Amino acid sequence: MNPLFNRVDIFSVIEHQKQELKNAFQTVTNAELDKDSVAVASRLIEEFSINVPVLDEEKKYATTNEAQVDVSHDPRRMIRDRSRPFHIAGTEVRVAIPFHGDAGLFEVQPTMFTLNPPFGEIRNHELHLVYLLTDANFDVDAATNRTIGQVKQYLQSLQGSAEQLKSEIQQLVNAMIAKRKQERGTHSQIVASLKIPIKQAPLNPPPTAVLTAPSKKQEEEWDVFISHASEDKETIATPLAEALQAEGLRVWYDDFALRLGDSLRQSIDRGLVRSRFGVVILSARFFEKHWTQQELNGLATREVNGEKVILPVWHGVGFSEVRNYSPTLADRVAVHTKDGLAHVVQKIVGVVTRK
């Protein structure tokens, strides 16, 4: 399992939603406002508010499977070499709690949080709590209830922020509508005060070419986009990104590309679209993440025309693990981090510079 509520903070989400609201309002026509400004306001408030998940605890259920459990870190066991996994037969108990609401908010850190967040997995609008057990006396029900209690505290804090956001959105929408009406009223007054006869402009005036300098973000393009699980940053993602930059490649990497106040989702989407290749660091942690799966899906959509975009890097996994995650990825030629960082960099640079 991976930690919940730790991908992006709620303040960034709130600012992102308000900015997206402003952008959306620019597309609202005067005709729409004249027809029903209340309906326009309601639609925008509904679209840009956030829907905090609510757990349906009464419908929770469990599944069980036999499993091999690594007990190398169990201090109660006599194990000679704890630097290597030591597996024994055990049981995997997976408790699933359905929920309704925005699943992405399980990755958002609320205003109130602890340094020990709850752990879990999000699958198909269910919160999964996984226990690998070798002790028949372990109280799964008690452990589940403790984690659910933690999760509900985090969601309660997010709910407070959601209510604050909705209030701010309501005020923002009303202010933008009022400003638009004021501007139109001023325009009407100016026109009415003219003593000179007014000639109506043609219905379809010829377009006027306007030269504008492209913004910095429009100009940005990258050679490679690095998709990775946050747990793999120190061991491989950051060293690989720095090494590829040292080779002269333009690298989209979250630590390099994101700045204070940036929209996380917009920045990632821009990186996915404007990067020539996607370096995907496949690891056990990568397979568990909802966010990394979305990035991989975004890269895969660019290969529908047969263009090679995804460059897989296997980190601590073998063929069977990758095949279980994605048979199509398992069939691709990949580079392995066990062969050394220099080898990985050499292979990636070779592909990128060949095109």
* Average pLDDT over every residue of 288-313: 75
Identify the CA nearest to 264 among candidates 272, 256, 254: 254
Same domain? 136 vs 243: no
pLDDT, tens digit, 9 for 90 and up, residues 61-114: 999 999 888 888 888 888 888 888 888 899 999 999 999 999 999 999 998 888
Q: In the chain, what percentage of residues exceed pLDDT 70?
A: 84
Within a domain: residue 196?
no
CB atoms within 10 A of CB 79: 13
Find the length of the chain.
Answer: 355
Within a domain: residue 69?
yes
Same domain? 170 vs 53: yes
Same domain? 140 vs 8: yes
φ/ψ of 135, rounded to 5, equals -110, 115
Same domain? 162 vs 233: no
| Cα dihedral across residues 103, 229, 315, 90: positive or negative | negative
Same domain? 278 vs 141: no
Average per-residue pLDDT for the chain: 83
Instruction: Go through 266-287 and write b for each residue having 16 or more CB atoms within 10 A of its CB, e for each that does not.
Output: ebbebbbebbbbbbbbbbebbb
Minimum mean pLDDT range among 1-15, 30-44, 150-164, 217-231:
217-231
Residue 203 has pLDDT above 70, yes or no: no
Q: Give strand pairing partners of 108.
A: 8
pLDDT band with cut points at 50, 70 and 90 for residue 165: very high
Minimum mean pLDDT range among 170-184, 255-269, 290-304, 329-343:
255-269
More confident residue, 327 or 244: 244
Same domain? 224 vs 289: yes
pLDDT band with cut points at 50, 70 and 90 for residue 323: confident
pLDDT, tens digit, 9 for 90 and up, residues 212-242: 444 444 446 889 999 888 888 889 999 999 9
Within a domain: residue 145?
yes
pLDDT band with cut points at 50, 70 and 90 for residue 30: confident
- Residue 120's pLDDT is 92
Same domain? 109 vs 8: yes
Same domain? 163 vs 53: yes
Type and span of the H or E element at 157: helix 140-193
Within a domain: residue 205?
no
Same domain? 225 vs 178: no
- Residue 222's pLDDT is 87
Within a domain: residue 200?
no
Query: Model-level pTM?
Result: 0.53
Q: Find the catalytic residue in 107, 121, 126, 295.
A: 295
* Average pLDDT over every residue of 280-306: 76
pLDDT, tens digit, 9 for 90 and up, residues 76-90: 888 888 888 888 899
- Residue 263's pLDDT is 44
- Which of the listed residues 130, 162, 184 is the one where a domain comes to its end? 184
- Which of the listed residues 165, 184, 203 is the one where a domain comes to its end? 184
Same domain? 265 vs 328: yes
- Which of the listed residues 184, 203, 231 is the one where a domain comes to its end? 184
Residue position matching structure tokens 């024994």? 88
- Residue 148's pLDDT is 96
pLDDT band with cut points at 50, 70 and 90 for residue 260: very low
How many independent structural domains does the chain possess? 2
Residue 355 has pLDDT above 70, yes or no: no
- Residue 84's pLDDT is 86
Within a domain: residue 198?
no
Residue 2 has pLDDT above 50, yes or no: yes
Residue position matching structure tokens 């402009």? 201
Q: Give strand pairing partners of 335.
A: 313
- CATH code of the domain containing 293: 3.40.50.10140
In which domain, by residue range, is 324 found? 216-354
Angle at 234 between CA 231 and CA 239, to 5 degrees: 130
Within a domain: residue 207?
no
Burial class, 118, CB count within 10 angstroms (exposed 0-12 / middle 13-18 / buried 19+) = buried
- Residue 314's pLDDT is 93
Within a domain: residue 129?
yes
Residue 34 has pLDDT above 90, yes or no: no
pLDDT, tens digit, 9 for 90 and up, residues 278-288: 899 999 888 87
- 307 assigned to active site: no
pLDDT band with cut points at 50, 70 and 90 for residue 119: very high
Residue 264 has pLDDT above 80, yes or no: no
- Residue 208's pLDDT is 47
Same domain? 125 vs 252: no
Segment 125-129 long-range contacts (CB within 8 Å, at least 24 positions apart):
125/98, 125/99, 125/100, 126/96, 126/97, 126/98, 126/99, 127/55, 127/96, 127/97, 127/98, 127/99, 127/151, 128/1, 128/94, 128/95, 128/96, 128/97, 129/1, 129/94, 129/95, 129/97
Q: For the CA atoms of the chain, what is the radius of gyration? A: 26
Identify the CA nearest to 121 among candidates 93, 141, 94: 94
Same domain? 240 vs 179: no
Residue 270 has pLDDT above 80, yes or no: no
